[in-house]
Amino acid sequence: MTALVVAASLLVGLSLGALGGGGSILTVPILIYLAGQDTKEAIATSLFVVGVTSLAALVPHARARRVRWRTGLLFGGFSMAGAYGGGRVAEYVPGTALLVAFALMMLATAVAMLRKPRRGREAAPRIHAELPVRQIAAEGLAVGAVTGLVGSGGGFLVVPALALLGGLPMGMAVGTSLLVIGMNSFAGLAGHLSGVGIDWGLALTVTAAAVVGSLVGGRLAGRIPQDALRTAFGWFVVVMGVFVLSQQIDTAVWAHPATWAVLGAVLVGAVAYRWWRTARPTGGHREHPAKS
């Protein structure tokens, strides 16, 4: 079992190094389903693992100039305040509720990452621009509160916030997110430690394996096209979100006809909306009368 935990931990680091997130998405299930920890202990331990691993993964990105330091430090500073508060509140929330919220947020984020921008709305990457402090503060506090509550470093929220809302290129968003995740994780851990203990032997073992994986992932990140990186991140989060959610919902719920009726309606609606957007004529292809 220890060998399996170590092997899975390598994937944690690989995910963080290459995608700038996904560490806690893997770490929490590993600690719960493979290492046998309870939910709150796994959440606290994952924050330590992800925090250390993120800072290790940050090094190759910084050397490759894929880190926006001002944005990352400001975002991380505000996010730390929210993460600490979220970590304190988590002590009073049932573990099952935390994991269900965790899974739902993963799925919502995946949809945002996989959705392609409409024609004419693709903004050019603002390579040298910095986000305004007010926007950084609002996004940082919100992301920090959410990620501190569910015990995540926040990569699956920070990367979209930087890439979609902040306009950073995907590679730059990945590198900058690692700085934010490290700051976020330790602030959230401080909030959780007031109500839960950590098996430090296991935590250090998982962390060591994850750090090795993160160094490999950091080298791969610069060689993967940004569109492929965004798509891979999105589908990865979908798979893990569905898995975690399926583990928390009672079997009777899945067997009920109403559940499948709702899922079927959502699927049909999604396909119909996708078809409507694809078939809708765009304004850029109107025919103009020929001039004589």
Residue 15: is its pLDDT beyond 70? yes
Spatial distance between the Cα atoms of 232 and 15, rounded to a whole number of angstroms:
10
pLDDT (0 to 100) of residue 256: 61
| Between 168 and 128, residue with greater pLDDT | 168
Percentage of residues in the chain having pLDDT higher than 70: 74
pLDDT above 80 for 172: yes
In a 13 Å sphere around the CA of 252, the CA atoms on its Cβ side amount to 0
pLDDT beyond 60 at 285: no
Q: What is the pLDDT of residues 80-129, one digit of tens each?
A: 888 888 888 877 888 777 777 777 777 876 776 677 654 444 444 444 45
* Tokens linked to 24: 């806690």
Distances (CA, A) of 105 to 92, 203, 240, 274: 20, 25, 11, 22
The one-letter amino acid at 159? V
* Residue 204 pLDDT level (bands cut at 50, 70, 90): very high
